[in-house]
Chains A and B, each alone.
Chain A
């Protein structure tokens, strides 16, 4: 802020804190062109992920045409409303080198962490969302937000390190409370007064931080690393308290709805998963619009998706292994039913960001969402030809509406491209054969 500007006409001090009373409210948010915040800083560009389970049926998923205006085969025909907002990547591979092909794990871990896991208990290490969050999401209330439509807190593709998963918010009611409950500071309220309770909390926390450091000096190396992480977690909490003591920047699109009347019912049939996905998506979109985080994750299925179809006795994963290939169709009909539903939810997710206005465009213009899965042909646990998507224009840095054929190139190139879009300075990403320093230039503006 550079003192009084033409949009914030009244400014005062309350308990030593700046207060903005804007007239009219919406005009206070943005610059004259609607492309930047009122103080001249650009609209933030955010990174998101979306995860689906069990890949594709190549013959009815992969478009024949590459580049713009690609065709939409039947398994992805539901993407028509969002085609202009997305890029589809097919034919990119994962390389396990000497590691085994771990069913439903190797593929997604390589795509999200760049590393081929050695065994089923080997956790991924830092995933791409966390890497990017360290660069772009250190000044918001939540460094990352992770949600799942499965109702299972464990269903997350986000890891801080090899010992720590970022657990997923799974209950819409709890997610609402976390985001917009009593600790939420509406950025558009004209008055702001820092909370005395938060100041006291911060003061108390300093002693806890000191004791954590002291304890770290008394334990072995492995436990020391965990104590260091404990310390980092507390520091992040302290940072949050600091955030709460500052007046947030106004956000025109930030209008949280009321809390859901009731939570989504437990269960994995697609109607329930779809309902939960919509509820969690709406909350996530609003959280991003309110600048509660700049990195967000959503999954509609865990690796080895257990989603069910009402009245059909095989969950998605079981169906991939037990349903016969339809001789006439050339693919597993019920398995394709599941994938089609997943694509519908991907369209729903992207569409929700596209509907949210921000500046002179939409929220989707200012995000990059990266979507990946665990297998290509799940029936055989294939990890070559894994499909991926991006959605959004990342503040004008990305083209959209393209189908890019990888022709066996490294799938990690897309993750590396995302890192470059967000200004990370690493020269390459991934290990061994997944190591790449090549961006996917076709999608860059």
Chain B
């Protein structure tokens, strides 16, 4: 029974991770995997589409959209409920998560706060500017009452950006009437306008991103996204925000349906500074950085780690990502080798480098043992216990977050007394975890996580470098899917060379772009994109461009009858 269970577990890892087989090989399943016949964008174009989805805006999409439409100085709040991580991304959970009554109460309060800021008349004493003067494109005839023409102008202009399409005349009329009533009842034109803004910010046309479809003239009998829906998909993918005026114009003109027009639109978006927001949102999600909101370190063990240190560590990694991938147009795999990063005053003492004022670029010396983002505090501290490191957590995170594999949870009825450690002579994590490897029930999972994590044991639970633990010299040798190494730098190189590193990023980016978890029908497109990504030298802007310009990005297929059954569910049934 045990061997069957372990076998099933290794099948699970293989299937979910698309692995050809790791140390637990012997139960691989290749039946559902297609081999791309030819790499490159052309191959992607031959596969069709994704399902039309209705997904709720994410918190960051909402924040970025409001900031774009009304200004980045607004206080927006965080009214959205956290999303369930689905197929590796929170953003993919947006296509299935519901919205509770409590969430609407929060959204209403946030909408009210935003609306009042938009029509704010400013305060000379506080040196706050009158936002109404530049966010409302006209002056009412009298502030104390309705002005339908001015209200309609604002509603038409702002509504188009928030709803991501031109508002029908009937809707403009309805909202103008609301503004009229509000202004009359409240005896204030701007107060009336504020109630309309509040209503817009609760409207499903704003908060739900709906893939509207139409018949595809190029593929009789099939559907494609409408041009407005395509504009939204492009914009949320690349900018993590609603389309701007120019993109909406491209949608209105039909240009997004021409190769030339869509290419021009995508290239403009890739060249925009707003690309950084999109890239940051994606990697923040993929790296599981939402956990920073609840991560804290034991102050007795790590007195130098404050909440600001942890926030800065998240920011450090995101800055490194943007700099390496976008600014330098670097190879994605080199993100795990690069010594170039950024340092803040709170990070400097933890890294043992000279303090700075504000953020500054920094290159770690070659002998500093800080190569790649695995050696940054964000990864090391996030995947540790509050008062000590965890080789298991780090190994699990690397496999799940960066290689798209799934490490099964421990069996529920295992008696951990077999690995309890009352022996004070066991000083290092390696010595302690050896207890797991001699227990076959534990070994199945621990041997796919611990050899990775132990290479990072030269960093404590806060990410500080060390060479010993309790006086014992640390052994950082290990292996990753057959590739051995002797140090954390070696682990970075093994990860760099891992065949699934690039394809995992493709899977995640494709999901992020198309708004939901992958299904089997996406496999050909993902594999073709993976090959094209490799051919591009693993340049992320090139991958973004390939996804955005692929036929699959705009074409619609029927929703699969049910979500892909996870290997875990199958495993549990087999294992029983």
Contacts and interface: CB of A to CB of B under 8 A. Distances in A.
A336 to B, nearest CB: 15
A144 B195 contact: no
A258 interface: no
Nearest to B461: A313
Contact of B420 (A146, A160, A306, A324): A324
A314 B415 CA distance: 18
Contact of A318 (B96, B203, B299, B385): B385
B204 A322 contact: no
B205 A308 contact: no
A147 B182 CA distance: 35
Interface string A277-297: 000000000000000000000
Interface stretch (B332-340, B406-414, B446-454): B406-414
Given A211-B205, A314-B385, A324-B417, A118 B569 contact: yes
Contacts, number: 200
A204 to B, nearest CB: 4
A167 B100 contact: yes
Given A153-B82, A227-B54, A308-B386, A323 B420 contact: yes
A199 B100 contact: no
B572 A164 contact: no
B274 to A, nearest CB: 28
Interface in A160-178: 160-161, 163-167, 178
Contact of A164 (B99, B294, B419, B420): B99
Contacts of A142: 102, 105
B38 interface: no
Contacts of A219: 54, 210
Contacts of A1: none
Given A200-B185, A203-B181, A381-B413, A313 B100 contact: no
A379 interface: yes
Residue among A199, A204, A211, A268 with the highest chain B CB neighbour number at 10 A: A204
A233 B103 contact: yes
B439 to A, nearest CB: 13
B559 interface: yes
Nearest to A201: B195
Given A103-B410, A219-B210, A197 B191 contact: yes
B203 A203 contact: no
Interface string A83-107: 0000000000000001011110000
B195 A204 contact: yes
A3 interface: no
B204 A211 contact: yes
Contacts of B388: 313-314
B202 interface: yes
A230 B99 contact: yes
B129 interface: no
Nearest to B562: A222
A297 to B, nearest CB: 11
B300 to A, nearest CB: 5
Contact of B181 (A200, A229, A318, A324): A200
A381 B387 contact: no
B519 interface: no
A283 to B, nearest CB: 15
B96 A230 contact: no
A360 interface: no
A98 B575 CA distance: 12
A313 B385 contact: yes
A226 interface: yes
A167 B107 CA distance: 13
A119 B408 CA distance: 12
A120 B409 contact: yes
Interface residues of B, number: 70
Interface in A306-362: 306, 308, 310-315, 318, 321-325
Contacts of B373: none
A418 B38 CA distance: 63
Given A103-B412, A266-B296, A269-B298, A143 B101 contact: yes
Interface string B317-359: 0000000000000000000000000000000000000000000
A167 B102 contact: yes
Contacts of B203: 208, 211
A142 B210 CA distance: 29
B99 to A, nearest CB: 5
Contacts of A421: none
Given A267-B296, A324-B417, A324-B421, A161 B82 contact: no
Contacts of A324: 417, 420-422
Contacts of A167: 81-82, 100, 102-103
Contacts of B202: 205, 208, 234, 237
Interface in A110-166: 118-121, 123, 142-144, 146, 150-154, 160-161, 163-166
Given A219-B210, A308-B387, A119 B572 contact: yes
Nearest to A224: B54
A16 interface: no
B567 to A, nearest CB: 11
A284 B326 CA distance: 48
B101 to A, nearest CB: 4
A265 to B, nearest CB: 8
A312 B198 contact: no
Contacts of A232: 101
B102 A144 contact: yes
B23 interface: no
A119 B102 contact: no
B424 to A, nearest CB: 11
Nearest to B206: A208
B185 A196 contact: yes
Contacts of B182: 200, 203-204
Contacts of B105: 142, 178, 236-237, 240
Interface in B163-191: 174-175, 178, 181-182, 185-186, 191
A220 B99 CA distance: 17
Contacts of B294: 150-152, 154, 266, 268
Interface of B: 53-54, 81-82, 84, 86, 96-106, 108-109, 174-175, 178, 181-182, 185-186, 191-192, 195-196, 198-199, 202-205, 208, 210, 212, 293-294, 296, 298-301, 307, 385-388, 409-410, 412-417, 419-422, 559, 566, 568-569, 572, 575-576
28 contacts: A103-B409, A118-B569, A120-B568, A143-B101, A144-B102, A151-B294, A152-B293, A153-B82, A154-B294, A163-B98, A167-B100, A178-B109, A197-B186, A204-B195, A204-B199, A205-B202, A207-B175, A219-B54, A229-B99, A230-B99, A237-B108, A240-B105, A268-B386, A269-B296, A269-B298, A314-B385, A324-B420, A380-B415
Given A118-B569, A223-B54, A315-B385, 17 more contacts: A100-B412, A146-B102, A153-B293, A161-B98, A163-B96, A164-B81, A178-B109, A205-B202, A219-B210, A229-B99, A233-B100, A265-B307, A311-B298, A313-B388, A321-B416, A322-B421, A381-B412
Which 4 A-B residue pairings sit nearest by Cβ, starting from the closest? Answer: A164-B98, A267-B296, A204-B199, A233-B104
